[in-house]
């Protein structure tokens, strides 16, 4: 929720009512800013128009870098920096490099994905998140709707839609960028 403006938060108690309510809000051309749920809701990402996450690509790139670093370091150590013959093996014994290469792949992929997730989500040290309703982490689904300037018309229309779909208005929120 990085945008500035005035928003209306609405609450639902059931995921089916939430999806039905979001469909109705989309039909009425209301701008849905965000949806907060206590657990993943199937079909919500498609309904909100979210694109596929780029996190797997970041993991693959991080893993590829880890594999290259792990294998490259071992190859350099055993062929250039400290070439020793162990049990008659050649200097570049690729099968013996596989465990360390695999572990470096997993380590780099994991770190890359964690840092990418924290950066993309805006989490981490110093993050200040507004809690719209304490029950979001327990049993409530909260939808954040852009008020859009025509306050009275949108508010009445929104009350009607929420009444039909089992939702309720929580509060009007003013958000400003710092």
Per-residue pLDDT tens, the chain, 178 aa: give them: 555 677 888 888 888 999 999 999 888 888 888 898 888 899 898 889 888 889 999 999 999 999 999 999 999 999 999 888 878 888 888 998 999 999 999 999 999 999 999 988 888 778 777 776 677 778 888 888 887 665 556 677 778 888 888 888 767 777 654 4
CA distance 20 to 13: 12
Q: Identify whether 129 is part of a domain.
A: no
- Of 72, 89, 121, the residue at which a domain comes to its end is 121
- Whether residues 67 and 114 share a domain: the answer is yes
Domain that holds residue 30: 1-36+143-178
| Residues 62 and 31 placed together within one structural domain of the fold | no
Give yes or no for a contact between 173 and 7, defined as CB atoms under 8 angstroms apart.
yes
| Number of domains observed in the structure of the chain | 2
> Distance (Å, rounded) from C-alpha 156 to C-alpha 138?
29
Q: Per the structure block, which two tokens stand in for 3?
A: 């945008």
Could you tell me which residues come within 8 angstroms of residue 142 by beta carbon, excluding any fewer than 6 positions away?
Answer: 9, 10, 11, 12, 35, 36, 132, 133, 136, 170
Return phi, psi of residue 84, to 5°: -125, 150
Strand partners, 20: none
- pTM for the model stands at 0.72
Residue 128 domain-assigned (yes or no):
no
Q: Are 177 and 4 in contact (CB under 8 A)?
A: yes
* Domain identity same for 63 and 26: no
- Kindly state whether residues 24 and 81 are assigned to the same domain: no
Q: What phi and psi, each to the nearest 5 degrees, are found at residue 126?
A: 85, 0
């Amino acid at each position: 929720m990085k945008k500035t403006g005035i928003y209306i938060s609405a609450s639902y108690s059931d995921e089916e009512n939430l999806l039905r309510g979001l469909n109705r809000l989309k039909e009425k051309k209301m701008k849905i800013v965000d949806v907060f749920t206590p657990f993943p809701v199937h079909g919500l990402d498609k309904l909100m128009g979210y694109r596929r996450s780029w996190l797997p690509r970041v993991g693959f790139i991080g893993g590829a870098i880890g594999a290259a670093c792990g294998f490259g370091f071992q190859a350099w150590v055993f062929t250039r920096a400290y070439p020793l013959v162990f049990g008659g093996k050649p200097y570049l014994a690729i099968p013996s490099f596989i465990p360390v290469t695999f572990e470096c792949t997993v380590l780099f992929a994991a770190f890359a994905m964690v840092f990418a997730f924290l950066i993309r989500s805006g989490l981490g040290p110093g993050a200040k998140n507004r809690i719209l309703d304490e029950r979001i982490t327990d049993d409530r689904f909260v939808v954040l709707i852009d008020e859009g300037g025509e306050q009275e018309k949108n508010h009445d229309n929104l009350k009607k839609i929420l009444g039909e779909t089992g939702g309720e208005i929580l509060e009007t929120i003013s958000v400003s960028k710092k």
